[in-house]
Structures are given as C-alpha cells and as structure tokens.
Amino acid sequence: MLQEDDVIYRNRYVWYRYKNDLNQRKHHLSFETASLVFDDPFHIEVFDEDNSIIEERFNVTGSVTGLINNSLVTVSVVYRGDLIRIFSARDADFIEVRDYYEQFQEYLDG
C-alpha cells in the first residue's frame, strides 16, 4: 500500500521521501543510486531474518557504478507485488563484500 509521502522511481522502486533524506545524510547514498544495485547481474540477495518481523526483508548487495569495482552497497528491501520498497542503503560491510566476490568467483569458475 502506498503512502502520501512515497516516491515511486522508474515505476519499480518505492520509498518514503524522509527515509531517503535521512539515508543521504547518514550514508551519503541516495535511494535513486541504491536502486542501481538491481542492474548488477551479479548482485546477491540475503534474507534478513532480524528485520523480517512484519514482512520478509532482504539485503541486496552489488555494484551501483559498474560491473566490477571497489564500491559495493547493500540495500535493505521488501518486495511488494511489482514494487521494491527500499528502506535503507549503505556501503557493504566486509562480510557482504566477501560474499559478493565469492559468488562472482564461482561464476567465473563456472
């Protein structure tokens, strides 16, 4: 269900306007940029058990600036029908970066 303060972006992503503003101040990463993680063909998705009390949340890690680089982000999302609601976005931590590159290496090893 959409709220009055929701922003719909590229007809696929939705978020609360104020959460995007807060995220930009805290993590220097807009949700517009964070949504690009889904354009990374090697992005990985992990079920977020700790934050899935009301609905199933996932942490999606990938690149937002190109296929392979040192700038990976992790985006917290919920899938709601055809829309993806973004709750937060930040630089990926050490474990998320490791998992991303392990998955990518598995792909290369084929």
**Residue 47 covered by a domain:** yes
Tens of each residue's pLDDT in the chain, 110 residues: 788 889 999 999 999 999 999 999 999 999 999 999 999 999 999 999 999 999 999 999 999 986 555 689 999 999 999 999 999 999 999 999 999 999 989 988 98
- CATH of residue 50's domain is 3.10.450.530
**Residue 48 covered by a domain:** yes
**Residue 85 covered by a domain:** yes
According to the model, what pLDDT value does residue 70 have? 63
**Residue 38 covered by a domain:** yes
- Counting the structural domains of the chain, the total is 1
**Residue 93 covered by a domain:** yes
Is the entire prediction scored with pTM above 0.95?
no
**Residue 1 covered by a domain:** no
**Residue 18 covered by a domain:** yes
Residue-wise burial string across 6-24, b where 16 or more C-beta atoms lie within 10 A, e elsewhere: eeebeeebbbbeebbeebe
Among candidate residues 82, 86, 62, 58, the one with its CA nearest the CA of residue 74: 62
Tell me which residue range forms the domain holding 89.
6-109
**Residue 54 covered by a domain:** yes
